[in-house]
Structure 1
Amino acid sequence: MKTVMRRPADAEIEVRREMPASSKWSLGEATRCGQQGYLRPCQRQDCSAGLDGTYPLASICQSDSELVFVVEDDEALRENLVELVDALGYPAQGCGNASELFTALHKYKTGCILLDIRLPGQDGVAVQKWMNQSGVVLPIVFISGVQDVATVVHCMKAGAFEFLQKPFGEMALRNAINSAVGQSRKDFCRLQSEAMVQEMVALLTPTELYVAKMISRGYPTKLIAAEMGRSENTVKIHRHRIFNKLMVNSAASVANIIRHASNRKFAT
């Protein structure tokens, strides 16, 4: 089994929470690849490093726990595919069967799986079923030397990202892997962003959460004070603490975060 890989990070999603300078961060909802996000690396207004590709394929979007698995029982083909994936700039690991994949899979949060449909023991369809049942979300790019329309339809309905028929060209492989890895990065970015929002909102006291909700609904300080039966100065203190804890500098950003968390336990 030939492996070209980087050292994996901890399997848990790591939420990196740093207090940014307000002039260096953009806290709008959209990331550079167009999805909703908060405190994402690409949202730094001064970020210049890692801008070497189209989002989400720029290096700044790459996680520390990224790997492309090549699951193929033909050793020569497996090694060739690993080398091709490595040439694309992604860490890669070859696996000769499903068991080897299952052993290493839990360590990685982004990347994709290049999966032969016909494997000794558990075949590709069984692997996909196991992944769906286990909640593993890495995109699967199936490869097969046999054109079986029923199997292709079944795999695609079960969530396969792409299906390549052997022999396939290098360009087809490149496009499939780039698209699959890009999707996994966007998915992971979204999960990190959701975890960040939950962490930030959890820092608010019940009173601060109430005030934050009022702010998000457009209530001015005077009206919030009247609703709470408190002085305007007290509300201003709560407002200041909310802005600090959520790391924002505008009521619009507070509204974005509260709206994003509205269906979660911290905002119920």
Structure 2
Amino acid sequence: MTYCVGMRLNAGLVFLSDSRTNAGVDQVGTFRKMSVFEIPGDRMMVMMTSGNLSISQSIRQLIADSQSDDGRSIWNAGTMHEAARIVGDAVRHVHAREAKALAEFGIDFNVSIIFGGQIGGERCRLFQIYSAGNFIEAHDENTYFQIGEAKYGKPIIDRVVGPATSLDDAAKCALISMDSTLRSNVSVGLPLDLLVYETGALAVTHFVTIDERNQYFQMIRNTWGHQLKRVFEGLENPVWDAAPESTANVLHSAATSSQPVRVSPPAGISAPATSRTPLQTLTQQFHDGQQ
């Protein structure tokens, strides 16, 4: 599996991907899932993929090499929307060529893509492209996309990231999101690729490949877990069966009558006798044996 996240902010774009493709006990594969299409000073575009590796590699190669009958390609597209359409067309082309043969072997045509960047004076844009080649675009109400194992790293992004978030804060949040996913899912793994792009640069601003020795990511992993425990321990325990006006943090009010849904036992089954032989400690058993 995989986990990739892309964020579109006022200040630019942040992309983060892992590199694990297999996670069996005796088969762990590593392939980089982030590709950059760049003509410095003219355009900078990033593609991250999840799903069948052979499909995503075929799509990437087709995008890089091909052009339409009218000469249109990702290298001369006038807008990011046009470039996203070219990526979608490549997905459909590979589907037409490969899907039937894959289906004969019981393999689904499975690919998801995050694609974003900036062309010329146009604003930064971010898209999620599906297996059918159709796509949606990120806006201020939804500033990020995830593909792959998205659920573990989603809560922190929802709470932290918005259009006004700085690039450094967004990169930090993306790494925390990835750390949460790494901790909970063995199918996502190091090394990571992190790319940060500043609006108007029209070239990669910052890029780093992160492995287990990376100093900053080690700090994130250690500090985030420690701080979460501190916050958890700082929360008050719930108060049961009390009036809300008498104390704080009442979970269950004495005035309420909520009950669980109870399943009745079949006819003829009654509660067992309550008299039971009390448990003995090893010391008691020893002394009883000596008497």
What TM-score do the two structures reach when normalised by structure 1? 0.22
With a CA cutoff of 8 Å and minimum separation of 6, indicate the structure with the bigger relative contact order. 2
Higher strand share: 2
More helix by share: 1
- Give the TM-score normalised by the residue count of structure 2: 0.21
